[in-house]
Amino acid sequence: MPRKKFNNIFLKDFNKKIKKFEDNNESYISDEEIELYRSYKKNNLKNFDHLNSIAGTGPFVRGPYSSMYVNKPWTIRQYAGFSTAKESNKFYKESLKSGQKGLSIAFDLPTHRGYDSDNSRVIGDIGKAGVAIDSVDDMKLLFDGIPLDKVSVSMTMNGAIIPIMAFYIVCAEESGCQIDKLSGTIQNDILKEYMVRNTFIYPPKESMKITSDIFSFISKKMPKFNSISISGYHMQEAGATADLELAYTLANGIEYVKAGLSTGLDIDSFAKRFSFFWGIGMNHFMEIAKMRAARFLWHKLLKEFNPKDPKSLCLRVHCQTSGWSLTEQEPFNNITRTSVEALSAIFGGTQSLHTNSLDEAIGLPTKFSSKIARETQLIFQNELGICKTVDPWGGSYYIESLTNELIKKATIHLEEINRAGGMRKAIEKGIPKMRIEQSAAKKQANIDNGEQIIVGVNKYKLKFQDEIIFFEIDNELVRKNQINKIKKLKKNRNNNDVKKILNEIKLCAKNNNKNLLALAVEAAKKRATLGEISLAIEEVYGRYQPKIKSLSGVYKSKMKKNKLFNNAIKLSDNFSEIQGRRPRILIAKVGQDGHDRGAKVIASSFADMGFDVDIGPLFQSPYEVVKQAIENDVHIIGISSLAGGHKTLVKDLFIELNKHQSNEIMVVIGGIIPRSDYKFLKNLGVSAIFGPGSNIIEIAVKLLNLLFSKK
């Protein structure tokens, strides 16, 4: 056949296939309820408001700076804290030597919740999920030998932010560093805590006074320091889709703008020091689009407040790869997951980035795994050519379409928050928490159904896998050391001076006539502890207790064709017929761990499978859990543990059950539980242990069978 004739036939056939493909441009609906197509073309980009943008100018879709990474790459951070200030200090110094440019401090849960290490409520949590800080002396040890005027420091702190910020300031001053030279970020995003992470202390209204005082102090005395990092990260970790995370984070930002203005501050004195903190999950292209949409929307929202400084309109971000996406199964696959998520953040235009370690679904990261996570970023900066161009995805039909869709979806959620009277009032009405929990339940149902694939978890599973070494904290040793330091501190200070300044803090909280942070700085100088400063404020504001609510029907709505789900319902019905009542389970969070995504999803799905479900209040002691279990006559206590305190807390739980002669109550536990702890827990009497990635329907069936075997 002549070549020309062959080419014509080939082109004709090729064009037919292209036309057939375009005519059959199938679509599917994403978790964000955005319609996604197989193919995108130029005509998909019609009438998009965000397209007329270049990097460094409003609306900043393509990045906050004109040169982006060409002149200066993103800052490499590693969020870390290891039991004691001394151990953490050693790790920070090694990280800085290895190419890390800034520090991100992880505090332990008692510190977050405003408790000193000698408080009886925090026995199982001290030093487990971060570093314990009880006084300014701990803070000085944490940063010993680190030049605070040269190293950027990010601190994730909201609940006990007043004493922690005061300790940091006094630490800098006493090391010879002027505080106007300090650079970094304090999270100071308390509104988010009432939706998801729950490391709050005081009620929302009173906490906003603290936020405003920090804005005022930092804007006047610390011009290089960011007064807030508005966080969507923990919303995503709790189950929020990209559109929810985007909308609620920006809505929180607007609430903080209003709080600053209400104190008489000029918007340009604090808004330009705002930064944002996004979670980055496995939906690669959606995450890139989310960050571009965020910059567009923030520019639009802030314009309504008429700032004069263009920097006030510019959204700058820190990102962290997802902890929730990491799997206990085949953990070395987590290196790939983290790498993909890191690229999403970079392509989205982040200003700094933390990459999670491969072993964080099992326990605290080891130095080995932290090194891999950190050097992943070094490889991206030095080997991939990413830093040679600005916004490489700009103009992509798909990315620009996703950006536009997220702008539209987020705007709908923002309008709902506005109708509720703003974010603080929306939180009080439970709107954002409900939406996020609905999203989490749907996502879990999709995973349990096999509609969303997680390699090694619900597909391509191995029967056996090698054990992995993980980092474990000797909680009891840390506690003893911290208590000894507190005793020594109180013995050597002037207690009358401490009492006087704590009273001034209390009066300030009552009369709202001074700056709480300024007074806390004076208290830190006199060696008041974190717990003492927090308690002085708490005696006026009170300690916030959230209302307990649960969803039903969301998980079930996705399970109509799932045979195992229907079998679980039949088993619970059989149990009810035999016993004369439904199987009853108490879902409990013990200790100071406020991450309740797993607990809420279990509660919702178990209710849909015919269980009577009681949900315990957050932050219960083992005694309080057992008391509630006995009063409600439950068959099962289900403990959700994500912060490493399970060995101490579950041991104390069984001591309480023995005291009340209630050993017939079955105890099970789920969450981040290293396999090396299984034998210890089972020897205590734990009937079943469920690690990350466990199928919820299979959990329910196993528990029902265990109940039948007991009867």
- Name the residues annotated as catalytic: 79, 233-234, 589, 593, 595
Pairing of strands 35-37, 27-29: antiparallel
Is cis: bond before 59, omega within 30 of 0?
yes
Q: What angle do CA 343, 344, 347 make, to 5 degrees?
A: 80
CB 251 within 8 A of CB 421: no
CB 609 within 8 A of CB 572: yes
Contacts of residue 31, defined as CB under 8 A and 6 or more positions apart, other chains included, come to 241, 242, 283, 439, 442, 443, 446
Print burial letters for 234-249: b (CB count within 10 Å at least 16), e (below 16). bbbbbbbbbbbbbbbb
DSSP notation for 336-389: HHHHHHHHHHHHHT-SEEE---TTTTTSBPPHHHHHHHHHHHHHHHHHS-GGGS
DSSP, collapsed to helix, strand or coil, labels residue 316 as coil
- Compute the distance between CA of residue 229 and CA of residue 225 in angstroms, rounded to an integer: 11
Print burial letters for 150-173: b (CB count within 10 Å at least 16), e (below 16). ebbbbbbbbbbbbbbbbbbbbbbb
CB 232 within 8 A of CB 248: yes
Dihedral angle at the C-alpha atoms of 398, 402, 408, 414, nearest 10 degrees? -170
- Compute the distance between CA of residue 667 and CA of residue 697 in angstroms, rounded to an integer: 18
DSSP, collapsed to helix, strand or coil, labels residue 75 as strand
- Compute the distance between CA of residue 177 and CA of residue 120 in angstroms, rounded to an integer: 36
DSSP, collapsed to helix, strand or coil, labels residue 592 as coil
* Tokens coding 639: 């403990």
Print burial letters for 487-500: b (CB count within 10 Å at least 16), e (below 16). eebbeeeeeeebee
